[in-house]
Structure 1
Amino acid sequence: MRLTKFGHSCVRLDTGQGLIVIDPGVYSDPAALDGADAVFITHEHPDHCDEARLLDFHAKRPDVPIYGPELLAEAPSGLAYTCVSAGDVIPVAGTEVKVFGERHAVIHPDLPLVANVCYLVDGVYHPGDSLTVPDMPVRTLLAPVAAPWLKIAEAIDFARAVDAEAVHPIHDAILSDIGMGLPDRLFPQLVGDSYRRIPNGQTATV
């Protein structure tokens, strides 16, 4: 399977039988949706779910399912989502997408928690904005490395807990090039040589 990063937390997975897009948000390249056979959203925040872009995409490709947590279906846009929750298994693009998780990580105690689901696709794990460790093996972890809800120590401990063969950073659009150097230094030191950054627009085999 081939994984292409389209900025921030958006990735596209080419299974050889179809294209799966996860979290096309406002910080990601619109080209991520080109040719998509299924779209998966982890949660409602716009850096993961660009509803205006998805409405346009749905108008052009109404046959393509868009999956997300139940609360997305209540969004004012009225975009048609197929609701998923932890334990679901969705057959798509010649493979299966397994669903984990329930809630976004805490940003601040005074802010409400939103629903957040995580996706495991042929061993590739996208946690959205959570530190949910799945109860099954992960080959490739897409690890959030910078967020208002996240400390670098938590990101490193999360990667250690998941214990994947490969770790690729996501959720990094808020970092400058200089800032990206911090996880690029600390992850190899504290997690190991499994860590490798995929530059935006580039593809890795996973």
Structure 2
Amino acid sequence: MRITKFGHACVRIEHDGTTVVLDPGVFTDVGALDGADAVLITHEHPDHYLPAHLLASDAPVFTIEGVAAKVREDAPAVAERLTVVAPGESFDVGVPVRAVGELHAVIHPEYPRITNSGYVLDLGGTKVYHPGDALTEPGEVVDVLCCPVSAPWMKASEAIEFARAVKAPRNLAIHDRVYSEAGLGIVDTHMNAFLPKDGLEYVRRADGEDL
């Protein structure tokens, strides 16, 4: 099993001959999709979904209906490779996956909330959870949490409490292009002030680095 962090919210997972790429958006180099067997998209925001990236790959795309509607509009050529999944649904992309949750985190009460589903991937018994832009607990024990650490819709205490609630032994920082390196250093300090006390590891990786 290999987990590689790419730009912002994008994670590439390789296991037993299958390569899955999650949320390759505007902050992710298209090379993250090289050789991908499947692409999973959590929601429609451009930092998670970029039509040009999907057009540059021939991999099947798995996502929720809200994103699928955007893909059909933005990149009709990708439509024939689309599979729509529903919250709570289990499906197979070469590895077993389950969709988790239905809504994006609240950005502001006056903004309508868009749909968002995270994904739990089962990699031979090791489970990895990518929540997209939500703090929805996975509803099962997971081994690795891809934990959002900076966003207009969250504060550091929420990232800490989300990781504590999920209780994954390893936590990989994602959604990290919103802050400067100095700001992320502050978040790292906060995360490491609390999570290790609960026996939870927290790491942040540069683009292209493995967990």
Q: Structure 1-normalised TM-score?
A: 0.92
**What percent of counterpart residues are identical?**
46
Structure 1 position 184, deviation (Å): 1.1
Q: Show the 5 A alignment for 1:170-181.
A: 170-181=174-185
For residues 32 and 125 of structure 1, the distance between their equivalents in structure 2, rounded to whole angstroms, comes to 19
In structure 1, the residue corresponding to 2:56 is in which secondary structure? helix
For residues 56 and 202 of structure 2, the distance between their equivalents in structure 1, rounded to whole angstroms, comes to 36
For residues 63 and 164 of structure 2, the distance between their equivalents in structure 1, rounded to whole angstroms, comes to 27
**From 58, 61, 86, the counterpart of 1:66:** 61
1:195 matched to 2:196: no
For residues 187 and 195 of structure 2, the distance between their equivalents in structure 1, rounded to whole angstroms, comes to 10
* Amino acid of the structure 2 residue aligned with 1:72: V
User: Retained in 1: the 8 A contact 2:30–2:56?
Assistant: no
For residues 170 and 7 of structure 1, the distance between their equivalents in structure 2, rounded to whole angstroms, comes to 9
In structure 2, the residue corresponding to 1:13 is in which secondary structure? strand
Higher relative contact order (CA 8 A, sep 6+): 1
For residues 154 and 112 of structure 2, the distance between their equivalents in structure 1, rounded to whole angstroms, comes to 16
**From 186, 200, 203, the counterpart of 1:182:** 186
Q: Which runs of 4+ in 1 moved over 6 A?
A: none
Q: List per-residue Cα deviations over 1:48-83 (Å, max 9, x = no partner).
A: 0011221232xxx2xx21011111222221342211
Structure 1 unaligned regions, length at least 5: none
1:127 matched to 2:105: no
Q: Structure 2-normalised TM-score?
A: 0.90
User: Retained in 1: the 8 A contact 2:42–2:132?
Assistant: yes
Match of residue 114 from structure 1: 114
Q: Higher helix share goes to which structure?
A: 2
* Amino acid of the structure 2 residue aligned with 1:148: P
Match of residue 84 from structure 2: 83
Structure 1 position 198, deviation (Å): 1.9
Structure 1 position 11, deviation (Å): 0.6
Match of residue 11 from structure 1: 11
For residues 147 and 101 of structure 2, the distance between their equivalents in structure 1, rounded to whole angstroms, comes to 15
Structure 1 position 16, deviation (Å): 2.3
For residues 32 and 10 of structure 1, the distance between their equivalents in structure 2, rounded to whole angstroms, comes to 8
User: Retained in 1: the 8 A contact 2:104–2:116?
Assistant: yes
